[in-house]
């Protein structure tokens, strides 16, 4: 863990901090925008499950307002044309999620754990990771996006044992490890995710 602490602190105190601060400001701004923009970000997070963030960003830009009103069959066809791996299932999830679009603003007034639980229970296609991803991207700072890239980093530095399955209970345990680590580095969970992703990929995405 000491090596990772040093790396995180060096990144925080270097030129990367400006990039991360800018991204966090963008997340906060998005959280203050209208219902349609919130919903399009929700769709991005639905798409990124078992897919890449870069691919999700590319498709989000290509589809734009299509997330809001394209019929399921047309949406599925567009996802397929754009090279998406799961066009039928995710098109179905997105169309069904439209029922919740008007309620997303009220979700943002909840405590982070309550908001995440609401999303998991009410939006098909969102698990703990995807719900956390959405919340971070709309301005929540105290949730961790735990995927197997993050698990790999933590295991490599002896901070956790790799779980066979990332159950909700195990997710919360790993989130607490990350929360403790974030406190030692002096940053939020939302910021920490961006720094750890940079450690693994050399990129700051969303």
Active site residues: 129, 147
Question: What are the helix (H) ranges across the chain?
Answer: 2-12, 16-31, 35-47, 53-63, 66-69, 72-81, 87-97, 104-107, 112-122, 128-137, 148-156, 168-185, 189-201
In whole angstroms, give the CA distance from residue 51 to residue 202: 18
If DSSP codes are grouped into helix, strand and coil, which group holds residue 24?
A: helix
What are the tokens at 83?
């090279």
What are the tokens at 156?
């490599």
Find the angle CA(186)-CA(57)-CA(74) to the nearest 5 degrees: 145
In whole angstroms, give the CA distance from residue 191 to residue 68: 29
> Residue 121 to residues 18, 29, 111, 165, 192: CA-CA distances in angstroms?
36, 26, 15, 20, 26
């Amino acid at each position: 863990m000491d090596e990772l602490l040093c790396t995180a602190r060096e990144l925080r105190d270097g030129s990367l901090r400006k990039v991360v601060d800018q991204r966090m400001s963008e997340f906060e701004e998005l959280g203050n925008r209208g219902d349609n923009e919130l919903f399009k970000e929700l769709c991005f997070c639905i798409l990124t499950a078992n897919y890449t963030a870069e691919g999700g960003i590319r498709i989000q830009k290509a589809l734009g307002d299509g997330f809001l009103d394209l019929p399921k069959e047309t949406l599925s066809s567009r996802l397929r044309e754009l090279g998406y791996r799961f066009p039928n299932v995710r098109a179905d999830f997105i169309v069904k999620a439209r029922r919740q679009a008007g309620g997303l603003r009220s979700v943002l007034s909840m405590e982070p754990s309550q908001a995440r639980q609401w999303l998991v229970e009410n939006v098909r296609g969102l698990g703990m990771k995807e719900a956390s991803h959405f919340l971070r991207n709309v301005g929540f700072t105290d949730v961790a996006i735990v995927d197997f890239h993050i698990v790999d980093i933590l295991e490599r530095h002896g901070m956790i044992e790799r779980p066979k399955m990332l159950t909700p209970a195990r997710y919360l345990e790993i989130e607490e490890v990350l929360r403790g680590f974030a406190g030692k580095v002096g940053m939020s969970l939302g910021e920490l995710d961006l720094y750890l992703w940079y450690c693994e990929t050399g990129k700051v995405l969303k």
